[in-house]
């Protein structure tokens, strides 16, 4: 029987696991939504620079109530803090950094990911959106792309598919997928299951994933 966590606890689990993808010295872009939570869990010994498309180079953790500055926001319009040594630039220069392949890692949300590493995360047909944002530039500019998301949608349907059905953000751009149930790598041989979240079984992961899965011989359990 799978352990059932409150939504907030699930999001924290995913964010904490995603933090392990960040190495000291990295320049990192965190996508809007759940990825922004990762900033709160970066270990103090890691020297990391978080970059935002709207021109803040050196994002810190989320602000406490008495620290909120309405003029200091990330690309998702969420209030943030600035780390020591942070700098500011216009969005054109920020995108120059992205397009120039100066980002070591991007951690983004996803609506769908395919077995080939295709990503759909910028729109749902028929729904009002403000624009595609910077995701299309980021997935082609960052050296590594990690997607964090729920394993299934609100209807219980798989989000990791043989082929994406929603409009694509990028083809073959995803390197790793971290969900509330598993961690999977996108490889030339296919999707490889490398970690299973405690409380879930391999059979349950396979049943809730449309794409075919290769189980790693070095499969690990991700503890809660």
pLDDT tens figures, 109-123: 999 999 999 999 988
- Overall CATH class of domain 7-222: alpha beta
CA distance 213 to 146: 18
Instruction: Give pTM, 2 decimals.
Output: 0.93
- How much of the chain, in percent, has pLDDT values that exceed 70? 94
Quick one: how far is CA 4 from the chain centroid? 22
Q: Which residues are catalytic?
A: 53
What six digits make up the tokens of 20? Answer: 């392990």
Residue 99's φ and ψ, nearest 5 degrees, are: -70, -20
Summarize pLDDT for 177-193 with one digit per residue, the tens.
999 999 999 999 999 99
Q: Where are the beta strands (DSSP E) in the chain?
A: 27-30, 49-51, 56-59, 82-88, 105-109, 112-114, 119-120, 145-148, 160-161, 176-178, 182-187, 190-197, 213-222
CA distance 178 to 59: 22
CA distance 75 to 201: 37
The candidate with the shortest Cα–Cα distance to 49, out of 92, 97, 90, 17, is 97
Summarize pLDDT for 183-223 with one digit per residue, the tens.
999 999 999 999 999 999 999 999 999 999 999 999 999 98
Does residue 24 have a pLDDT over 80?
Answer: yes
pLDDT for the residue 4: 55
CA distance 148 to 100: 24
The residues spanned by each domain of the chain are 7-222
């Amino acid at each position: 029987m799978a352990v059932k966590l409150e939504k907030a606890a699930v999001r924290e689990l995913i964010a904490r696991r995603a933090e392990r993808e960040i190495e000291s010295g990295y320049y990192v872009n965190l996508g809007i939504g759940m990825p922004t939570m990762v900033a709160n869990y970066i270990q103090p010994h890691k020297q990391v620079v978080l970059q935002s498309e709207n021109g803040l180079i050196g994002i810190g953790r989320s602000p406490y109530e008495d620290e909120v500055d309405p003029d200091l926001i990330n690309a998702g319009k969420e209030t943030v803090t600035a780390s020591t040594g942070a700098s500011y630039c216009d969005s054109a220069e920020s995108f120059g950094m992205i397009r120039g392949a100066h980002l070591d890692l991007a951690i983004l949300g996803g609506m769908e990911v395919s077995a080939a590493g295709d990503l759909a995360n910028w729109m749902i047909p028929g729904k009002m959106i403000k624009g595609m944002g910077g995701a299309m530039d980021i997935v082609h500019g960052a050296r590594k792309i990690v997607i964090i998301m729920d394993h299934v949608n609100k209807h219980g349907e798989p989000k990791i598919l043989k082929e994406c059905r929603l409009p694509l953000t990028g083809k073959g751009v995803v390197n790793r997928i971290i969900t509330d149930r598993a961690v999977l790598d996108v490889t030339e041989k296919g999707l490889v299951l490398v970690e299973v979240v405690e409380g879930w079984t391999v059979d349950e992961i396979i049943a809730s994933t449309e794409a075919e899965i290769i189980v790693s011989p070095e499969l690990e359990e991700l503890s809660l």
